[in-house]
């Protein structure tokens, strides 16, 4: 579903389910793809300290069972 009232600057459609949020100087920007985020970072001169990826939400969020250390998992 497209975001109402949001015009894609890159020409790529921006969808709620796949938009990538990034924070830069106190504002939140949404990108349709990693490449558009990279272009933004290059144009603004953003360093990795200024532009930080927001934690994933929804289907893109990691499953906590996949990030546990094998040493703390119980064996059947």
DSSP string, 49-65: TTEEEPPP-GGGSPPGG
Model confidence, pTM:
0.38
Structural element, H or E, at residue 71: none
Q: 8 or 25: which carries more pLDDT confidence?
A: 25
End-to-end CA distance of the chain: 43
Separation CA 44–CA 55 (nearest Å): 22
How many C-beta neighbours within 10 Å does residue 57 have?
A: 8
With contact defined as beta carbons under 8 Å apart, do 31 and 20 qualify? yes
pLDDT in tens, 42-70: 777 765 444 455 555 555 544 444 344 44
């Amino acid at each position: 579903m497209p975001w109402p009232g949001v015009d894609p600057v890159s020409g790529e459609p921006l969808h709620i389910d796949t938009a990538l949020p990034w924070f830069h100087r106190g504002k939140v920007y949404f990108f349709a793809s990693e490449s558009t985020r990279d272009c933004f970072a290059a144009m603004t001169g953003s360093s990795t300290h200024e532009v930080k990826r927001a934690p994933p939400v929804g289907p893109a969020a990691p499953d906590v069972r996949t990030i546990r250390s094998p040493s703390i998992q119980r064996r059947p």
